Amino acid sequence: MSGMEQAEAPLIGPKVDQGYALGLLFIVLGMVVFGLIMVYSASFIYAQEKTGDGLTLIRKQLLFASLGLVALWGGYRIPYSFWKKAAYPALGAAILLLFMVFIPGVGLKVGGAQRWVHFWKFQFQPGEFAKFAVIFFIAHQLDKKAERIDRITAGVLSHFVTPLPVFLLLLCQPDFGTTVIITVVIFCMMFLAGVPSKYLSVTLFSGLSIGAWLALGTGYRRMRVMTFVDPWSDPGGKGFQILQSFVGLHNGRLWGVGLGNSKEKLLFLPEAHNDFIFSVIGEELGFIGIVGVVLAYLYFIYSGLRIAFDCHKSRQDRFGMLLAAGITLALGLQGFVNISVALGLVPTKGLTLPFMSYGGSALLVDLFAVGVLLNIGKRSPAHV
């Protein structure tokens, strides 16, 4: 066989049904476009008040959406087997970036949280990158140690000990929400990898115990829990944000007050364009809009998990299955946590609504992760 023929030879193994990948791409692009519309609607008055130009935030979001599409294309073009070799370097880079958050002059503190790295005119949140770096690492670990998965060291401990600096640095920022998302996704990946139930039970109990201790062990987190239980106890203080979210959702009723007509975004609802954009969607587009967003995320999760399971079924590719499932669950779970916060079902977490909330680094990294997911749905592993 000639060199040209070798270069054009098909990849080993059957392809996954690409219909799921195509549907996932369309739903993600639809959410990005819808998110741009809602960010413009929710941020105009806020940007006008803060900067004198109502288009400031939407311009930045458009820029990062464009860069995100390039990142999506890059993630799609790189054979996903590359991330096996890149798992350790990616985790190391994530730890370095998280450490840079605490360097004076580099790290940036906003709203009491030290979560951003400042480069020139742009801000980057390393926690967004760290989330997927850990997922790449765990998928690699669970695949590499498949034959020893019934041992506690290979089945449990190695998945939490090596990424431990990530968890500690996130908690120091503090970013409890991202820490919880990563932990839950790791647990789900362990379940899918076939870690024995006795180890999963111990992990679940330990995780819940540590989570409860962290949630109640510090004053501001304990206050968030108390506000969640009874936001009306301090309606002008700690409970103000969630109560304003309720007002917006109530005003929306079935059909909404109309796109662009939200009253809560008129500086009543804090973070209307960011953490609480779902409330603005509910107010402007009503219950119908809310259902549409929920269905979009459900379809995203369904398509992503079908890619994961078909990858394992048709190729017996454990790494691809775990990586696809991890990316899907991270984005889907974060989406539903954000929605639950806006509805008052869980305490405030400070997590964005993937693809829809304002936030350049989140949109950029999330779209790159979708590109990796699409590559898994496109092809069998290539040797890198």
Q: Would you write out the chain's pLDDT as a tens digit for each of its 384 residues?
A: 334 333 333 333 444 456 778 899 999 999 999 999 999 999 999 999 988 898 999 999 999 999 999 999 999 999 999 999 999 999 999 999 999 998 888 888 776 678 888 877 778 889 999 999 999 999 999 998 888 888 888 778 888 888 999 999 999 888 888 999 999 999 999 999 988 998 899 888 888 888 888 877 766 677 777 877 878 877 777 888 899 999 999 999 999 999 999 999 888 888 889 999 999 999 999 999 999 999 999 999 999 999 999 887 766 789 999 999 999 999 999 999 999 999 989 888 778 999 999 988 899 999 999 999 999 988 544 433
Under 8 Å between Cβ of 116 and 163: no
Type of residue found at 77: R
So what's the pLDDT on residue 1?
Answer: 38
In this structure, is residue 251 part of a structural domain?
yes
- Report d(CA 55, CA 62) in Å as an integer: 10
Residue 110: per-residue pLDDT: 74
pTM, two decimals, is 0.90
Whether residue 156 lies inside any domain: the answer is yes
107 in any annotated domain: yes
Residue 180's pLDDT is: 92
Report the SS3 class of residue 233: helix
Residue range(s) defining the domain that contains residue 369: 36-378
DSSP state, residue 155: I
Domain count, the chain: 1
Tokens of 46: 């806020």
Which burial class, exposed, middle or buried, applies to 361 when counting CB atoms under 10 A from its CB (0-12, 13-18, 19+)? buried
Counting Cβ atoms within 10 Å, is residue 119 exposed (0-12), middle (13-18) or buried (19+)?
exposed
Say if 129 falls within a structural domain.
yes
- Other C-beta atoms closer than 10 Å to the C-beta of 298 total 14
Residue with tokens 């998280």: 98
Question: What CA–CA distance (Å, rounded) separates 198 from 191?
Answer: 11
Q: Classify residue 383 by its DSSP letter.
A: P
* Position 279 in a domain: yes
Q: Tell me how far apart the alpha carbons of residues 74 and 353 are, in angstroms, rounded to a whole number.
A: 23
* Position 365 in a domain: yes
> Across the beta sheet with 107-110, what order do the strands follow?
107-110, 113-119, 122-124
Question: Alpha-carbon distance 372 to 28, whole Å?
Answer: 13
CA distance 168 to 162: 12
Q: What is the DSSP letter of 231?
A: G
Residue 31 pLDDT: 97
- Give me the helices (H) in the chain, please: 3-8, 18-51, 56-77, 82-100, 126-144, 152, 158-161, 164-172, 176-193, 197-217, 219-229, 240-252, 277-315, 318-342, 360-378
Q: Assign residue 245 a region (left: φ > 0; alpha: ψ between -120 and 50; beta: otherwise).
A: alpha
| 216: in domain | yes
